[in-house]
Amino acid sequence: MKLLKYLLPIFLLITVTVNEYALPRFALRMGAQCADCHVNPTGGAMRNRGGWHYGLRVLPLVSPYQRDQDLTMDNNIGRNIQFGFDYRTQYLYSQQIGKTTFQKMQGSVYLNAKILDSIDIYADYDFVNANWEGYAIAHILPNYSYIKAGTFVPDFGVLIDDHTAYTRGGDLGYLFTTNTRQGLIYDPRYNITGVEVGANISDFGLFTASVGSPVSLNFNSDPTYTASIHFNPVVANTVALMFGGSYTNFQGPLIYTQVPSEHKINMYGGFLGFGVDGFTLIGEYDVAKDYILTGTNSTAQMVEASYVLIKGLEAVVRYDRFDPNTSVSNDEVARLNVGFSFYPYSFIEIIPQYRFQFQPAPPGQPKPKDDSALLQFHFYY
């Protein structure tokens, strides 16, 4: 029973380490925006034709086109329907339990139907996490701006590919504490059903605003309001920049918080980054008011650096930090992830990674040893 007590939190944590979102470091590296590679204008999940070809030809060490120039392949069903998928599994060692195990992480399928040149009907389902999205996108506003309606993830901050980052879902309250959430609300369970409007600013900016009811709360809460602005200019044709800010207002309590009664929670933050040659650096800082306890502030931070060593191989380092109550000392948690992303062939990614975990020791006890190592396998299309 003691072993199960420690195994369960680790399994739950790793299971939600789902990498289905767009990688902002790719956008910085290419001087592009999320919409250049994804059906969703704010990024994530299914790749459009540009993103599909990026995974086929540009990203991997070896592409089938290097061997057969006459090869014909695509992700179309007929003329107007596209499909895709992401499957992830990993081999994990946890210092906390002193064990190794295999984990299934993600099994998502995507489908997009282009009804007209300006209208898409999109759906995805993750069989591993029982999580889904479904919405219509109509690019009927000026400058190819859009209206989105359905169930989707609100646009807040930087959509990095690891939900255990504290700016995303964090540890979901499973690790190191019993009733305090470690991380913000954007984990795989957090979708809203509502409407989003996106306005393209020239060709290097996007402003979004959405309103909807959180699916995880069974539509029993007040609507969530979210707004975000992203800028992605390129300077002197060599340096790609990314900066912007986000704000959201939602009703608590949330799962794994100590909030005694429902009330409004305000969260805001900013992000910035740059990319030059094969190097990218991205940072985000968020503040959540009344998130853990009323009358307190919580903060989440993320800094990620990556560098392309050779074609198909990049080194990635990320530092995450979460402070549940800025007025209390010695309650912060932090993590340093060090690893590589290896793309040996089209639509295949292998990720070896080591995670250094830092959190305060319980009173009168030594600091726990909670580092972990993983070897992750990602197949996508």
Number of domains in the chain: 1
State the pairing for strand pair 192-201/239-251.
Answer: unpaired
What are the backbone angles phi and psi of residue 324, rounded to the nearest 5°? Answer: -65, -25
Quote the tokens at residue 341. Answer: 């992303």
Structural domain of residue 287, as residue ranges? 2-380
Q: How many CB atoms lie within 10 A of CB 31?
A: 18
Residue ranges in the chain whose pLDDT is less than 70: 1-22, 67-69, 172-181, 216-221, 252-262
Q: What is the CATH number of the domain that holds 191?
A: 2.40.160.10
Place of tokens 């979460």: 322
What pLDDT score does 84 carry? 95
CA separation for the pair 156, 174 (Å, rounded): 23
What residues have CB less than 8 Å from 218, skipping those under 6 apart?
A: none
pLDDT of residue 121: 97
Q: What is the pLDDT of residue 244?
A: 97
At 180 the pLDDT is: 57
Task: Give per-residue pLDDT as tens, 321-371.
Answer: 999 889 988 888 899 999 999 999 999 999 999 999 988 777 777 777 789
> Token digits for 281?
């650096």
Phi-psi group of 44: left, alpha or beta (phi > 0 → left; psi -120 to 50 → alpha; rest → beta): left
In tens, the pLDDT along 185-219 reads: 887 778 899 999 999 998 889 999 999 988 766 55
Provide the whole-model pTM. Answer: 0.87
Q: How many CA atoms lie within 13 A of 25 on its CB side?
A: 22
Distance in angstroms (rounded) separating the CA atoms of residues 172 and 189: 10
Our CA angle for 348, 158, 233, nearest 5°, is: 95
